[in-house]
Structure formats: structure tokens, C-alpha cells
Amino acid sequence: MKRSKINDYIKEAEALLKKNNFFLPPWAFWSKEDWKKNRGVCKNIFESSLGWDLTDFGSGDYLSTGLLLVTIRNGNNYLDKKPYAEKIMLVKENQETPFHFHWSKTEDIINRGGGNLVIELYNSDKDEDFTDKPVVFLTDGIKREVAAGGKVVLNPGESITLKTGIYHRFYAEAGSGIVIAGEVSMKNDDAKDNRFHDAPGRFPDIVEDEEPYRLLVGDYGRFI
């Protein structure tokens, strides 16, 4: 992905979150120079991978297969041992986060506002492939079941609990608008706890055609 396009998408995200009165931590708006000045007190941020994250999952087509998110809080194995995490995500209409599950993380995905969030579900087998068994899950504490590959539509305010081993993909329903989605989960490790069914990668290859507007989590080691 071109850095210029990443910059544009982050500016768009900042405007949308502000319009909807969702406020990010102060460091979300730091420049590269701000990060350098504050580097000495930011070990927890770096170790916990807090910050902006944008990916096309190796597709080369972000608007079709991609996601923009900010990890707001997260535990790590080295400092605070915090057992929980929180993210805010912006999901465009028909923009897919491809099928994946987590080995360790149970999570709630919440529609915080905007359009309708569509989630498709499969159970996984011992070979980490799809099964044809119905999927049992909770939405806001209510037990539900769908057939393998079934769809769950979350309207604003609704949430789903996804246990380990449940394949899920999601996107904003066409015609409903961008979804502001939240994630509240156990400790998050995007480098080691994502099992994608088909997607080639979690993090994008970036073409540096201009300076970063905001640093991504993957930028810290290179720019600070």
C-alpha cells in the first residue's frame, strides 16, 4: 500500500470518530517527532502494540479486503501482565476482514455505531479447516445458533462473543454505511494469534511515497 493512501484513510478515520464523539488517547495524534521526544516513557505502548493499524491482508485491494483499527489498551508478557485488550475499528461497506480464528483469544465484537455489521461463522476442526457443524455463540449474552457459514447481522449497539477456534469474517452491510466497531477481548497478539483460512498476511507492505501522517504499530521500530 502507498503511504499516501494510508495517510488519507487515517485522516478520514479521525474525522469520522470525532464526528461520532469517540475520543482516542492523546498519543494517537502524535507526529513522528512527538514520538521521538516521548520515546523514553512509551515502553508500555511499544511492548503492548498500542496505536494505529491498517492492513489490506496482503490482498493489494484495501477497499475490498482490509481494516483500519486502533489498539487502545492491551496486555503484554513483559510489563503489566494486563489480561485484556480493547480496539476500535472502522469497517467500510463490503470491506472484508477475511476468515480467521484465534488460538488463545476470546473476544466480543461490538457495533458501536454507523451501519450494520455482518459476521459469517464456521467452526474449525482438528486440521483447522471449516466444518459443517452449526455454530453456537452469544449475542449480548443471548445464546444463538446459525448453520455453518451462516450470517449474523449486528445493528448498532449489538455485540457477539467469539470463542477460540471459531472462524469469522466481517464487513459492513451494503447501503448501511461505515461501521464503527469495537473489540473487547483477552490479551491480543496479532503477530502470533491469528489463523487465517486464506488471507496471505496480516500486515501490509508499504510504499513510502510520502512521510507518515500518523505512525502505525509496525512503524515504531523504523521511525522512532
CATH number of the domain within which 202 lies = 2.60.120.10
Q: String of b and e for 174-184 (b: at least 16 CB within 10 Å)?
A: eebebbbbbbe
Cα–Cα distance, 109 to 184 (Å, whole number): 7
Lowest mean per-residue pLDDT among 73-77, 130-134, 160-164? 73-77
Query: Which structural domain range is residue 215 located in?
Result: 3-223
Q: What's the pLDDT at 210?
A: 96
pLDDT tens digits for range 105-156: 999 999 999 999 999 999 999 999 999 999 999 999 999 999 999 999 999 9
Percent of the chain's residues with pLDDT above 90: 92
Phi first, then psi: what are they for 172, rounded to 5°? -80, 135
Residue entry with cell 447501503: 175
Cα–Cα distance, 45 to 39 (Å, whole number): 10
Q: Is the pLDDT of residue 206 over 90?
A: yes
Q: What's the pLDDT at 173?
A: 98
Cα–Cα distance, 88 to 70 (Å, whole number): 5
**209, burial (CB in 10 Å: exposed 0-12, middle 13-18, buried 19+):** exposed
Pairing assessment for the beta strands 107-114 and 179-186 based on DSSP bridges:
antiparallel
Lowest mean per-residue pLDDT among 15-19, 21-25, 199-203? 199-203
Cα–Cα distance, 186 to 63 (Å, whole number): 28
Length of the chain, please? 224
Domain count, the chain: 1
Cα-Cα-Cα-Cα torsion 216, 62, 23, 161, nearest 10 degrees, comes to -100
User: What are the CA-CA distances from residue 102 to residues 115, 124, 132, 164, 193 (Å)?
Assistant: 26, 11, 19, 5, 5
**44, burial (CB in 10 Å: exposed 0-12, middle 13-18, buried 19+):** middle
Q: Is the pLDDT of residue 202 over 90?
A: no
Q: Is the pLDDT of residue 79 over 80?
A: no
How many CA atoms within 13 Å lie on the side-chain side of 216?
21
Amino acid at 163: K
Band of residue 201 on the pLDDT scale cut at 50, 70, 90: confident
